[in-house]
């Protein structure tokens, strides 16, 4: 083994997730030698800060990966599809946060708290990072699965606008200003729709509304987001037959996804046992005392790293089921943080004896 600090490339360093990634690399214990920031030619030459150092952004090109040990990709699917293999061919381990490789059988889909052991199993030199909605629950579900064996998940999401990037954030802020300006909006059919003239990336107004759609239309009326929750949960947990029913709904929250999960296990799960187990699980925080008004909400969770779990109840009519409410920052654990954590697992290969 070599014993040097590995070189990291951050591809997509100027986007919404890339920006959070630079914060996370600055905050976390440093395991990197050189850090290169890569973006589209349009952003090349910009100087951005990471770890307190000024770094000049380079344009995406094959040569930028020469000498790179780990390359993180926070870019659209089609950019990852083309460029992650280029990075891998030049010797880098590509850690990709797009949907391009998540279900590729030769690409592990990794959540370090759940399946860090899969990191080395990467014949294509690519490791995939899950979708943000899956990531908002899977650390907690993985901990429960190890103890009780999960067999069925019913998931409903309360997804934040920033899941649709900066355009999503700006759209919700603009619409919120519009509905706030007119005191009586929201009482009559169509009045919010009439007042809001820019839908941005959403198929209906989001301010004073909830929209049961995220992603693109797939078979049988499912959205791509719903299929991701199902298929990625199965792969991460190593349960190809897990039953998953998901409905994804956008809500007027800037950042932090929330989810309700009805999870059914192989055996009975008393709520108090689940609460203790989750309180001791890596990457999970329990906030569950409704008598004191304690449960997680996006406004409290945004900007933090863990998966927050509250409203832990054993189902009244099925003692093998739990009903949970979970929150996770979709830009941190849901994207940049998990990518950074995967990259850190790879970095250990370079520095361990």
Query: Following CA atoms 94, 96, 99, 105 in sequence, which dihedral angle do they give, to the nearest 10 degrees?
Result: 40
Binders of a second copy among residues 64 to 123 (CB under 8 A) are none
How big is the chain, counted in residues? 353
- End-to-end CA gap in the chain: 6
The Cα–Cα gap between 120 and 172 comes to: 41
The Cα–Cα gap between 93 and 337 comes to: 17
Alpha-carbon distance values, 202 to 53, 90, 168, 252 (Å):
37, 39, 8, 11
Query: Total number of residues binding a second copy (CB under 8 A)?
Result: 77
The reply, when asked if residue 330 is annotated as ligand binding, is yes
Instruction: Pick the stretch among 80-88, 128-136, 317-325, 345-353 that binds a second copy (CB under 8 A).
Output: 317-325
CB closer to a second copy, 40 vs 304: 304
The minimum distance between CB 310 and a second copy, in angstroms, equals: 7
Q: Beta strands 307-314 and 35-39: pairing type?
A: unpaired
The Cα–Cα gap between 131 and 330 comes to: 9
Binders of a second copy among residues 252 to 281 (CB under 8 A) are 252-255, 258, 260, 262, 271
Binders of a second copy among residues 136 to 175 (CB under 8 A) are 154, 156, 158, 173
The reply, when asked if residue 216 is annotated as ligand binding, is no
* Paired tokens of 275: 């609460």
Does residue 125 interact with a second copy by CB under 8 A? no
Does residue 205 interact with a second copy by CB under 8 A? yes
The minimum distance between CB 313 and a second copy, in angstroms, equals: 5
For a second copy, the binding residue among 23, 314, 320, 349 (CB under 8 A) is: 314
The minimum distance between CB 232 and a second copy, in angstroms, equals: 14
The reply, when asked if residue 163 is annotated as ligand binding, is yes
The reply, when asked if residue 162 is annotated as ligand binding, is yes
Alpha-carbon distance values, 300 to 108, 187, 260, 305 (Å):
32, 29, 17, 12
Does residue 47 interact with a second copy by CB under 8 A? no
The reply, when asked if residue 51 is annotated as ligand binding, is no
Angle subtended at Cα 139 by Cα 137 and Cα 144, rounded to the nearest 5 degrees: 95
Which residues are identified as catalytic? 132, 257
Residues near 171 by beta carbon (within 8 Å), at least 6 away in sequence = 161, 164, 198, 199, 200, 201, 202, 206
The minimum distance between CB 124 and a second copy, in angstroms, equals: 27
> How many other CB atoms are there within 10 angstroms of residue 183's CB atom?
7
Binders of a second copy among residues 185 to 204 (CB under 8 A) are 185-193, 203-204
CB closer to a second copy, 152 vs 349: 152
Provide the CA 334 distance to its chain's centre, in angstroms: 2
CB closer to a second copy, 26 vs 314: 314
For a second copy, the binding residue among 128, 269, 302, 335 (CB under 8 A) is: 302
Does residue 291 interact with a second copy by CB under 8 A? yes
Residue ranges at the known binding site: 14-17, 42-43, 102, 159, 162-163, 250, 330
Residue ranges at the known binding site for substrate: 159, 250
Residue ranges at the known binding site for NADP(+): 14-17, 42-43, 162-163, 330
């Amino acid at each position: 083994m070599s014993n040097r600090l590995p070189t990291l490339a951050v591809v997509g360093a100027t986007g919404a997730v890339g920006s959070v990634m630079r914060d996370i690399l600055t905050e976390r214990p440093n395991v990197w030698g050189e850090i290169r920031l890569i973006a589209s030619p349009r952003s090349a030459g910009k100087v951005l800060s990471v770890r307190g150092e000024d770094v000049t952004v380079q344009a995406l090109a094959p040569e930028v990966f020469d000498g790179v040990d780990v390359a993180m990709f926070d870019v659209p699917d089609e950019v990852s599809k083309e460029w992650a293999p280029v990075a891998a061919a030049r010797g880098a381990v590509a850690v990709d946060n797009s949907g391009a490789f998540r279900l590729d059988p030769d690409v592990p889909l990794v959540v370090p708290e759940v399946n860090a052991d899969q990191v080395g199993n990467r014949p294509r030199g690519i490791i995939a990072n899950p979708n943000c909605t899956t990531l908002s629950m899977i650390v907690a579900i993985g901990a429960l699965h190890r103890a009780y064996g999960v067999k069925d998940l019913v998931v409903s999401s309360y997804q934040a606008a920033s899941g649709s990037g900066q355009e999503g954030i700006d759209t919700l802020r603009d619409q919120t200003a519009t509905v706030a300006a007119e005191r009586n909006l929201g009482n009559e059919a169509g009045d919010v729709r009439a007042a809001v003239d820019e839908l941005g990336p959403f198929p209906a107004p989001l301010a004073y509304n909830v929209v049961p759609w995220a992603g693109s239309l797939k078979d049988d009326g499912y959205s791509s987001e719903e299929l991701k929750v199902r298929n990625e949960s199965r792969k991460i947990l190593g349960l190809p037959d897990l039953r998953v029913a998901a409905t994804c709904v956008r809500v007027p929250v800037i950042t932090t996804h929330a989810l309700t999960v009805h999870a059914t296990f192989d055996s009975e799960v008393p709520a108090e046992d689940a609460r203790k187990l989750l309180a001791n699980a890596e990457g999970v925080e329990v906030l569950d005392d409704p008598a004191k008004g304690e449960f997680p909400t996006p406004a409290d969770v945004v900007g933090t790293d863990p998966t927050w779990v509250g409203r832990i109840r054993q189902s009244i009519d099925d003692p093998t089921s739990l009903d949970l409410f979970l929150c996770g920052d979709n830009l941190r654990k849901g994207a940049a943080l998990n990518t950074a954590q995967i990259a850190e697992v790879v970095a250990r290969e370079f520095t361990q004896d």
